Amino acid sequence: MAYGTEPEHGCGPRPTGAEPVGELVQRASQQLTELVRGELRLAQWEMRQKGRRYGRGGGLFGGAGVVGFLMLQALVATAVGALAVPLPVWAAGLIVTAVLGAGAAVLALRGKRQFDRAGPPAPVQTIEDVKADVTEIKESVRR
């Protein structure tokens, strides 16, 4: 048989779309595996992003707690100073307390903002993508 000619028994190349069922199932299985792996990578990325935001928010809330504790200590010192010495000493203590209180408020607000930006802890985008993929697969099986 010469190069480039078809066999005499008529088994030439198959037309497109006439692949055996086994090949189609294998290809679908590979594509589904790739899709699932891609969705898992997306979920991991999304959870890392949320973890970072929760970590920052938690750190800022922790800082607000420390500064708030210092504020209470300053308030106690202010009360002692107010009782022990004339007005200028406790007035200074009160000013320090107010400054620490304002710092705690700023840290708390920034921490809350970080938690709000992180959103719910579940990988929302990935869940929606998987639902859409399952719907698409179901529809293509019905056809």
- Would you say residue 116 has pLDDT above 50? yes
- Stretch 4-16: mean pLDDT: 51
Q: Average pLDDT in the 107-114 region?
A: 90
Residues 67 and 103: beta-carbon distance below 8 Å:
yes
Q: Tell me what pLDDT residue 124 has.
A: 77
pLDDT > 70 fraction of the chain, expressed in percent and rounded: 80
Mean pLDDT of 88-111: 82
The pLDDT of residue 79: 67
By the 10 Å C-beta count (0-12 exposed, 13-18 middle, 19+ buried), 42 is classed as: middle
pLDDT tier at 143, thresholds 50, 70, 90:
low
Average pLDDT over residues 8-30: 68
- Which pLDDT belongs to residue 91? 73
Spacing of C-alpha 126 from chain mean position: 10
| Residue with token string 């594509």 | 31
Higher pLDDT, 86 or 129: 129
Place of tokens 């692949």: 19
Are the beta carbons of 33 and 84 closer than 8 angstroms?
A: no
CA count, 13 A, side-chain hemisphere, 141: 8
